[in-house]
């Protein structure tokens, strides 16, 4: 009896608290979102502030849910950072030339450093299958839709026979032990440094299109 | 002006949404829904495309007083933008052979 009374008591308290915090949250959301939007707007250059303060105010009124509106306002803070640097410097903070020179120096240094490893992997791949190629070349789209061949180490596969429930044998392709190791350690991506050196890829950038 | 457009997967989503509605102008909220992009990704892309001259934008015609709410801003591909977007889509389709940017 005492136990169930206690349970009812705590149940009531929890319900009240939930209600209280729920109401409280609802009351505070407009305040929070306004604060966030103001922070976002203030990061933009003077000339753009009026436009986006109205545009975002109108967009946020179409976003459903209190939570969604907070996420939207936080997104605006993120967006304003990029938009401000875009408008101020014409590009992202790092200029193209500087980024390219970073790419070249880092990829050259890295290629020198990993050269022994590079050779080992090439020898191992040749040992695994003498006829097979060491590199795989896949067509990808890079910056501005430029096409290029992306290099990777070829991951060897082996046929594995699987016995099905009805006793039949089924062939299944599986990564070879070496292939699995390279894939697991991301070592098969090393030849992409050559793509970076050639200016087709960059060390920090969006995923190439056509990638999984 | 003269800004380069970076054709990322997200940019393709935005262009796709605009091309579907072209020649009608649609609001940022509609583009966000159609392209399933959050504000943090969407607005930098819209601004970039606009600065590069692919897009133009204008306010809703009514005043905020008449509407009783802030005005929406509508986006529309320019002639140049439309042809560039279409050729970008052609390029990517011929390489990848499908609507890869629409898969989620």
Centroid of chain to Cα B36: 12
Are A209 and B42 within 8 A, CB to CB?
no
- Confirm if A192 and A114 have CB atoms less than 8 A apart: no
- Confirm if B74 and B22 have CB atoms less than 8 A apart: no
A182-205: per-residue pLDDT in tens? Answer: 888 889 899 999 999 888 888 877
| DSSP assigned state of A155 | P
A38 pLDDT tier (thresholds 50, 70, 90) = very high
Taking residues A53-73, what's their average pLDDT? 91
**B26-27 vs A157-163, strand pairing mode:** unpaired
Are B47 and A87 within 8 A, CB to CB?
yes
Q: How far is A194 from chain B (nearest CA, A)?
A: 22
Please name the residue ranges forming H helices in chain A. Answer: 2-43, 46-60, 66-89, 96-128, 177-184, 192-197
**How far, in Å, CA of B41 to CA of B50, rounded?**
15
The secondary structure of chain B in percent helix, strand, coil, rounded to multiples of 5, reads 55, 10, 30
Report the percentage of chain A scoring pLDDT > 70: 93
A79 touches chain B (CB under 8 A): yes
Taking residues A162-181, what's their average pLDDT? 78
A108-123: per-residue pLDDT in tens? Answer: 999 989 999 999 999 9
Give the three-class secondary structure for A167. Answer: coil
A139 touches chain B (CB under 8 A): yes
B72-99: per-residue pLDDT in tens? Answer: 999 999 999 999 999 888 888 776 665 5
| DSSP assigned state of A207 | P
Q: How many A×B Cβ pairs under 8 Å?
A: 103
Q: What is the pLDDT of residue A177?
A: 87
Q: Which residue of A has its CA nearest to B99?
A: A210
Q: Which residue of A has its CA nearest to B93?
A: A210
End-to-end Cα spacing for chain A? 61
Q: How far is A61 from chain B (nearest CA, A)?
A: 9
**For residue B37, which of A79, A167, A187, A65 has the smallest C-alpha distance?**
A79
| DSSP assigned state of A153 | E
Are B92 and A141 within 8 A, CB to CB?
yes
Q: What is the pLDDT of residue A60?
A: 93
Query: Token match 């200016």: residue?
Result: A199
| DSSP assigned state of A188 | G
* A138-152, B32-46, B54-68: least confidently modelled range: A138-152
Q: Is the pLDDT of residue A211 over 60?
A: no
**How far, in Å, CA of A76 to CA of A2, rounded?**
53
Q: Which residue of B has its CA nearest to A40?
A: B40
Q: What is the pLDDT of residue A53?
A: 93
Residues present in chain A in total: 212
Of A63, A83, A144, the CB nearest to B44: A83
**How far, in Å, CA of A90 to CA of A24, rounded?**
43
Q: How far is A202 from chain B (nearest CA, A)?
A: 13
For residue B63, what are the contacts with CB-CB under 8 A and spacing of at least 6?
B71
* A4-8, A90-94, A146-150, A152-156: least confidently modelled range: A90-94
A7 pLDDT tier (thresholds 50, 70, 90) = confident
Are B100 and A209 within 8 A, CB to CB?
yes
Q: Is the pLDDT of residue B104 over 60?
A: no
B1 pLDDT tier (thresholds 50, 70, 90) = very low
* A65-69, A92-96, A173-177: least confidently modelled range: A92-96
b/e code A150-189 from CB counts within 10 Å (16+ = b): bbbbbbbeeeeeeeeeeeeeeeeeebeebbeebeeeebbe
- Provide the CB-side half-sphere exposure for B73 (13 A, CA): 20
What 3 state SS string does A133-150 have?
CCEEEEEEECHHHCEEEE
Q: What is the pLDDT of residue A2?
A: 73
A40-61: per-residue pLDDT in tens? Answer: 999 998 888 999 999 999 999 9
Q: What is the pLDDT of residue B97?
A: 62
Give the predicted TM-score (pTM) of the model.
0.58
Q: How far is B8 from chain A (nearest CA, A)?
A: 7
């Amino acid at each position: 009896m005492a136990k169930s009374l206690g349970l009812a008591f705590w149940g009531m308290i929890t319900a009240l608290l939930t209600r209280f915090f729920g109401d409280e949250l609802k009351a505070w959301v407009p305040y929070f979102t306004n604060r966030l939007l103001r922070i976002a707007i203030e990061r933009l250059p003077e000339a753009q502030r009026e436009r986006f303060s109205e545009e975002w105010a109108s967009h946020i009124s179409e976003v459903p849910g209190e939570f969604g509106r907070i996420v939207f306002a936080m997104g605006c803070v993120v967006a304003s950072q990029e938009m401000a640097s875009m408008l101020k410097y014409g590009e992202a903070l790092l200029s193209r030339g500087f980024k390219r020179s970073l790419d070249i120096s880092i990829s050259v240094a890295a290629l020198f450093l990993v050269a022994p490893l590079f050779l080992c992997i090439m020898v191992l791949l040749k040992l695994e299958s003498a006829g097979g190629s060491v590199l795989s070349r896949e067509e990808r789209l890079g910056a501005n839709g430029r096409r290029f061949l992306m290099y990777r180490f070829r991951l060897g596969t082996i046929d594995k026979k699987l016995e099905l429930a009805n006793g039949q044998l089924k062939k299944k392709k599986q990564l070879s032990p070496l292939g699995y190791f390279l894939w697991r350690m991301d070592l098969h991506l090393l030849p992409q440094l050559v793509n970076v050196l050639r200016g087709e890829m960059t060390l920090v950038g969006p995923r190439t299109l056509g990638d999984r | 002006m003269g800004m380069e457009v970076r054709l990322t997967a997200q940019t393709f989503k935005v262009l796709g949404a605009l091309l579907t509605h072209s020649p009608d102008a649609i609001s940022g909220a509609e583009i966000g829904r159609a392209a399933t992009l959050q504000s943090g990704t969407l607005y930098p892309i819209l601004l970039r495309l606009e600065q590069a001259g692919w897009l133009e934008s204008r306010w809703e015609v009514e005043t905020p007083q008449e509407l009783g709410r802030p005005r929406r801003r509508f986006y529309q591909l320019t002639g140049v933008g439309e042809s560039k977007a279409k050729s970008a889509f052609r390029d990517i389709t011929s390489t990848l052979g499908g609507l890869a940017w629409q898969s989620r």
